[in-house]
A = this chain, B = another copy of it.
Amino acid sequence: MARPLKLQARQVIASKKHSVVREEILNAAVQLFAERGYRAVSMDDVAAALQYTKSVIYYYFKNKNEILWQIYVLSSERYSADIQPLLAQEESSAVKLRRMIRVHAMNVMNHRDWTAVYNNESSELTASQRQALNRMNRDYDAMFESVFQRGVAEGVFREIPVHVAVGGILGMCNWLQAWYNDKGPLSSEQIADFFANLLEHGYSAGTPQAA
């Protein structure tokens, strides 16, 4: 197979929308970072994966750190944008939390490379980026915590310290990044349902327990 010529920045920029190229670069970078680890990947590698010259990549991103940070920002925005409407629904705490768990779990599975980078590479961020990330994570967790807390107050959820419950719920889902296989026998939707059910009712088949 003939190797295609690499495209120069102005050819690429002339022929495609900026936002499309940005997205291409981010998707290629996410995949490489998830496979090999952020530090092992160079701007050259990202360019090569897309058959672009390095100048194209630098036209869109100042450096590798800017790519990494954009991955964090866009991941975080996607997660929040999917949960916020659920939080606003007129539903019982039980229904709300179940839906939020499903959506969170499906996001982890359906954007697995993004989540792998998000979960593993925060030590590569600058101190101020890490601070901003902590704030984004706290805001995200707070949406789950508010629903959990309300459910406890209403007596429909058991009295588990809220950060332990939410840490456990999100942790179970986040860890899907390490083992979910999109070629496996179960769809992300089926696994999300099993998780929502396991978290709500436990694995015990027996009659439980007062709280």
Interface residues in chain A, defined as those with a beta carbon under 8 Å from any beta carbon in chain B = 35-37, 39-40, 94, 97, 119-121, 123-124, 148, 151, 155-158, 160-161, 164-165, 167-176, 178-179, 186, 191, 194-195, 197-209, 211
Contact = CB atoms under 8 A, between A and B. Distances in A.
A157 B205 contact: yes
Contact of A175 (B35, B120, B170, B206): B170
Contacts of A202: 158, 198-202, 208
Contact of A194 (B124, B156, B161, B197): B161
Contacts of A35: 123
A210 to B, nearest CB: 8
Given A164-B186, A172-B172, A176-B167, A201 B194 contact: no
A209 B201 contact: yes
A201 B35 CA distance: 37
A160 B94 contact: no
A172 B173 CA distance: 8
A134 B146 CA distance: 38
Contacts of A121: 37
Contacts of A195: 164, 168
Copies in the complex: 2
A108 B151 CA distance: 29
Given A158-B205, A198-B199, 18 more contacts: A35-B123, A120-B120, A156-B206, A160-B197, A164-B195, A168-B172, A169-B172, A171-B171, A171-B172, A171-B174, A171-B179, A172-B175, A199-B202, A199-B203, A200-B204, A201-B204, A205-B211, A207-B207
A130 B173 CA distance: 24
A156 B124 CA distance: 45
Most buried by B among A40, A121, A161: A161
Contacts of A199: 198, 202-203
A160 B203 contact: yes
A136 B36 CA distance: 21
